């Protein structure tokens, strides 16, 4: 067990969600959350957006505040994890028994990778308890009638596929981006959306958390897609949208640590999607439907569709490391870059891939460890948003079968040491999904009509 974990829990026994404030500053709505760890520090993260985005003429203030309060519950995860107190005190609002159970599950599973990588072994029940002192927000006579789609765009191939599949609804679509930069905004432009069609959110992490991280306090992965879920729900309500259309695939359900529930992509999983849908129905009771357009697909099928969308090939980026610099470029030295390279190489030529990435990643010896993990021969899968082990092996077989000339380093390594016979039906769709029937028909048509 991590000794820091026990030390911090015994020293800092609680974290308090004090309040949230909504201010009108220079035509922006700025939401400021206040979290405090007594004896350590106070955090004040913010979320802001332009008031010009608001299209709903019948906003129920209580409903808006309830959603904002719940966004704070998700923001809290990032600050809780620095010392993992045994008690979370909620002064800013009210949680029912259902809510407590719901958020406790999200905290625990969403922090699964954090607990694993920090060598922390603890049950969900033992992790923390809620103490709720805030007042309940009553909802009465909430009128809502939305239309069209709000489509979160991350800048990678998956959200591009959703944009293309739903292009016939473009007039009623809005893109949604948290902290716009480089690839995500460029993908929207290439899809034909203008700035006024893009719901842009600015999210700022409190620098006190960054300071604590630099001093050695506990740090690690948090369920970012749950932030996307709640903020997109708020913005769907304020912009009069009926559907929030995610781009999370079936492959996101596979555990990162095989044989456990530790999943880097937990908040992209079908389990979370269903849980969030149930939570919104129970707490908000309005007709906004949150689902993933690509849930019936594997990553390999998404790559198959994306390979035809050539106008995006020079602007999309799926590299998280590359996004942290002043420009968003492929770092070409991480498991995410390698995974995307393998998936697309099953459908595109070597010259097309090298033009896209700047080098042949299948010939990079320094990526061998990442490669071994991707094919299922490591202790874990890479802690990244990557697809299933089986489809990586399927893609590699497909690449080798059609490769012309001498095999590059990683392909040669695979053929001589790890070759596995994987068979995936590229035209089979997963049955467990929440895609509305009209959109499912579009998805099915595009998959079945794909020309090799």
> Can you tell me which residue has the tokens 């929207």?
188
Which residues in the chain come in under a pLDDT of 70?
1, 326, 452
CA distance 375 to 422: 11
Q: What is the pLDDT of residue 327?
A: 76
CA distance 112 to 290: 24
Reading the block at residue 296, the tokens are 């019936």
CA distance 293 to 250: 10
Q: Dihedrals φ, ψ of 30, to 5°?
A: -115, 120
> Can you tell me which residue has the tokens 């035809």?
308
CB 144 within 8 A of CB 120: no
Q: What is the pLDDT of residue 149?
A: 98
Q: What is the pLDDT of residue 311?
A: 97
Q: What is the pLDDT of residue 451?
A: 72
Long-range CB contacts (within 8 A, 24+) of 354-361: 356/313, 356/314, 356/330, 357/330, 357/332, 358/330, 358/332, 359/332, 360/408, 361/332, 361/337, 361/410
In sequence order, the 6+-apart residues with CB closer than 8 A to the CB of 309 are 160, 161, 164
Q: What is the pLDDT of residue 452?
A: 57
Provide the 10 A C-beta neighbour count for residue 104.
18
Q: What is the pLDDT of residue 383?
A: 94
Domain ranges for the chain, please list them: 3-292, 323-421
The sign one gets for the Cα dihedral 428, 434, 437, 443 is: negative
């Amino acid at each position: 067990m991590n000794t820091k974990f026990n030390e911090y829990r015994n020293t800092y026994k609680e974290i308090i969600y004090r309040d949230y404030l909504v201010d009108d500053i220079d035509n922006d709505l700025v939401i400021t959350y206040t979290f405090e760890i007594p004896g350590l520090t106070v955090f004040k993260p913010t979320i802001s957006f332009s008031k010009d985005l608001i299209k709903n003429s019948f906003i129920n203030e209580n409903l808006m505040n309830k959603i904002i309060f719940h966004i704070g519950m998700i923001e809290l995860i990032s600050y809780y994890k620095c010392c993992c107190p045994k008690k979370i005190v909620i002064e800013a609002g009210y949680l029912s028994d259902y809510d407590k159970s719901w958020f406790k599950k999200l905290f625990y599973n969403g922090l699964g990778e954090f607990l694993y990588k920090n060598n922390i072994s603890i049950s969900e029940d033992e992790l923390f308890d809620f103490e709720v002192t805030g007042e309940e927000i009553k909802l009465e006579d909430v009128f809502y009638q939305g239309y069209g789609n709000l489509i979160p765009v991350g800048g990678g191939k998956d959200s591009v596929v959703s944009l293309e599949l739903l292009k016939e609804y473009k007039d009623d679509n809005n893109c949604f981006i948290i902290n716009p930069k480089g690839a995500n905004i460029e993908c929207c432009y290439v899809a034909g959306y203008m700035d006024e069609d893009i719901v842009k959110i600015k999210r700022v992490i409190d620098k006190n958390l960054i300071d604590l991280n630099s001093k050695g306090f506990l740090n690690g992965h948090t369920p970012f897609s749950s932030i996307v879920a709640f903020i997109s729900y708020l913005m769907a309500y304020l912009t009069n949208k009926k559907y929030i259309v995610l781009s999370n695939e079936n492959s996101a359900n596979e555990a990162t640590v095989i044989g456990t529930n530790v999943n880097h992509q937990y908040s992209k999983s079908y389990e979370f999607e269903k849980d969030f849908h149930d939570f919104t129905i129970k707490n908000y009771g309005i007709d906004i439907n949150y689902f993933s357009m690509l849930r019936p697909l594997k990553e390999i099928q998404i790559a198959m569709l994306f390979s035809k969308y050539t106008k995006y090939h020079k602007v999309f980026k799926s590299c998280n490391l590359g996004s942290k610099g002043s420009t968003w470029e492929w770092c070409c030295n991480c498991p995410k870059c390698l995974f995307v390279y393998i998936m697309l190489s099953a459908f595109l030529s070597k010259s097309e891939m090298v033009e896209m990435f700047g080098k042949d990643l299948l010939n990079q010896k320094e990526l061998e460890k990442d490669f071994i993990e991707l094919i299922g021969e490591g202790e874990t899968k890479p802690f990244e948003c990557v697809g299933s082990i089986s489809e990586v092996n399927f893609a590699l077989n497909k690449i080798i079968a059609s490769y012309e000339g001498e095999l590059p380093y990683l392909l040669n390594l695979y053929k001589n040491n790890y070759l596995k016979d994987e068979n995936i039906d590229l035209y089979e769709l997963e049955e467990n999904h929440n895609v509305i029937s009209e959109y499912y028909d579009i998805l099915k048509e595009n998959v079945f009509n794909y020309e090799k």
